[in-house]
Amino acid sequence: MFFLYNNIVLFLIQRKLFNMKKHLLSVMVLCGSLINSQTYSNGNLSTGSTTSTGGVAPTGYTWSEVQAAAGNTTIGSSAIYNNSLTSNFRLADDFVVPAGQKWTITSVEALGYQTSSTTYPFDQINLRIWNGVPGGAGAIVFGDTTTNLLNTANSVDYKIYRIGNGTAATNRRIWKLSANVATSLNSGTFWVDFQAHPTNDASAFFPPVTIVGATGPSGANALQYNGTSWVAFTDGGSLAPQAVPFLINYTVATLSTTETRQYDSRLVIYPNPVKSSFKLSIPQESLNAKTDISIYDLGGRKVKSFKMAESYDISSLEKGVYLLKVNDGTTNKVTKIIKD
């Protein structure tokens, strides 16, 4: 009887685990972005430690250089308000929670600068999450335009200087604005929009996603609120659609654990969709010899694993949508990859 009971219990556990695995989709999609605009390739901000004319960044920093050769001129765009409300701007971009997933979000982080500031220049950030396009069919599912969500302890120097083409200047230091968020989202397309307030009530700016040699990521569709309406966020020179770099920190349940993950819009796959091989732009803090790159199918099965390399071959994979995960030993950064 004891043997029969044990076997019945074991069968029930195995069947439950099978059903859980059968219905569990692998983690996330990136923009959001992280990843932006369906492919979530809105991501990178750093263009390296050397300018296009050979200028070397200060130790520990990299540049974010406007891609003038591609026709771009925009160094940064406004997403701030002042006390008199003569300035009232916001920036917004989209991200996707994939089918079968539920994200519990703990913070969203924006990236901005105030010209010539050497100390942290912001004292407020408000933020909203929409289940559709802001100002359109979307409805607000989290946040408002008045509550200050700034987490000062996590809002730090981002170790990047924003510069014009070829100009090795250090007067536009990028800072991270970490906003406390407490919400859970089921699968779907969402938009995040934010607005900051500079401590000195003056101007401040937020650079777009920057990719060497490109006017912007494929599928970019960010928006800017100009005080009266939402309009497309485009570059002032090339008029190309732009994307907004941001990070989302969240947890998602897997088969046996709840894993903390980071949707990082700086994690960029190109090209994406991929026919045979791709290159990967990885945030500076994840560039180390221990970093692992893995690809999972939507059933949660690991199908490819790589160490850091110049390019990654996935020609043997079937066409479809996969999850790419970058594990640097501290953070699991994730984004969606499409095999064509």
* Integer CA distances (angstroms), 228 to 74, 77, 191, 267, in order: 22, 16, 19, 33
Q: Is 73 helix (H, G, I), strand (E, B) or coil?
A: coil
Question: Residue written as tokens 């939507």?
Answer: 298
Which of 261, 196, 232 shows the shortest CA–CA distance to 30? 261
Could you read off the pLDDT tens digit of each residue along the chain, which spans 340 residues?
433 344 433 444 344 333 433 332 233 333 333 332 222 334 678 888 899 999 999 998 999 999 998 899 999 999 999 999 999 999 999 988 877 778 899 999 999 999 999 999 999 999 999 999 998 888 999 999 999 999 999 999 999 999 999 899 999 999 999 999 999 999 899 999 999 999 999 999 999 999 888 898 878 999 999 999 999 999 999 999 999 999 888 887 644 456 777 777 677 787 888 999 998 888 777 888 889 999 988 777 899 999 989 899 999 999 988 889 898 888 888 888 889 8
The amino acid at residue 282 is: I
- The enclosing H or E element of 7 equals helix 2-23
- Give the predicted TM-score (pTM) of the model: 0.75
Please choose, from the candidates 320, 312, 322, the residue with its C-alpha nearest in 3D space to the C-alpha of residue 340. Answer: 320
Residue among 273, 157, 173, 267 nearest 211 (CA): 267
Phi and psi angles of residue 286, each rounded to the nearest 5 degrees, phi first:
-100, 5
Q: Is 19 left (phi over 0), alpha (psi -120 to 50) or beta?
A: alpha
- Distances 133 to 103, 179, 337 between C-alpha atoms, Å: 19, 21, 23
